[in-house]
Structure 1
């Protein structure tokens, strides 16, 4: 079985077909204005790993899931063990040293119609939590325009 060949394909002097017109390409939404976790927000669209969500009419919610934990720092444990050989009773005082460590996540949810995406952002202190809340409030104002 033989297939008919395109006569232009066999001609070395033929000109290739032009690319499709630019009107068929989707409109570029613009640069990313705000980056919240793995979501990039432009003036019209929220780019997520699961796909794009329109910004206009979107609903944003924020939930804090972080806590403070009290720990004995590693240097205090090492000092207590090393000092136990020299000053037995006094080296145990290093174990009374405590450090407060904050950790957790802030969960940001964007919803528009049936589309929804949840980003979990790790945080280590209150200033990071406040910063995420400020970013979401700014994006809420953009979504209301």
Structure 2
């Protein structure tokens, strides 16, 4: 942007003209990583081969399931409390926690080429991150 100062204490001239445009993005730099899919400025790199980014369509599907599980601490408390309060310690076994597991399926298509990535997720923040990445790549594909 500005030439490096010769004097470490000098300040660049604020009236100097700025470049007309930002430097071009290198076509080989990965700008987004979605599972095993790497996206550069012009190409979508998949394990099955390269797909052109321009004109590609992206689809995201969430596949969730939940599990109810007795946490380890509740089992330990029930066993330890059994020696002291036999009946009341069994109430610890009624404690349940919900575990979310699943995958987010990302499909990229361009003409006859298609690739499907299944990304394992364990929480809502991971799902939101994948959706944000896909929306970003959709905006790049529309350019």
Aligning the two structures, in what range does the TM-score lie when normalised by the shorter sequence? Answer: 0.7 to 0.9
Shift of 1:134: 1.0
> Residue 141 of structure 1 aligns with which residue?
139
TM-score by length of 2: 0.77
1:92-121 CA-to-partner distances (Å, cap 9, x unmatched) read 011121111111000000011111111111
Q: How many Å separate the matches in 2 of 1:101 and 1:48?
A: 31
1:57-110 CA-to-partner distances (Å, cap 9, x unmatched) read 111000000123221101211221222233211110111211111110000000
Shift of 1:53: 0.8
Paired residues in the alignment total: 118
After the TM superposition, which residues 84-123 of structure 1 pair with which residues of structure 2 at under 5 Å, given as runs? 84-123=82-121
SS at match of 1:32: coil
Structure 2, gaps ≥5 residues long: 1-25
RMSD (Å), alpha carbons: 1.3
Q: How many Å separate the matches in 1 of 2:67 and 2:51?
A: 37
> Residue 15 of structure 1 aligns with which residue?
none
> 2:41 aligned with 1:43, yes or no?
yes
The structure in which a higher percent of residues are helix is 1
Larger radius of gyration: 1
> Residue 59 of structure 1 aligns with which residue?
57
TM-score by length of 1: 0.76
Q: How many Å separate the matches in 1 of 2:132 and 2:27?
A: 23
> Residue 23 of structure 2 aligns with which residue?
none
> Residue 19 of structure 2 aligns with which residue?
none
Shift of 1:124: 1.2
Runs of 4+ aligned structure 1 residues displaced above 3 Å come to none
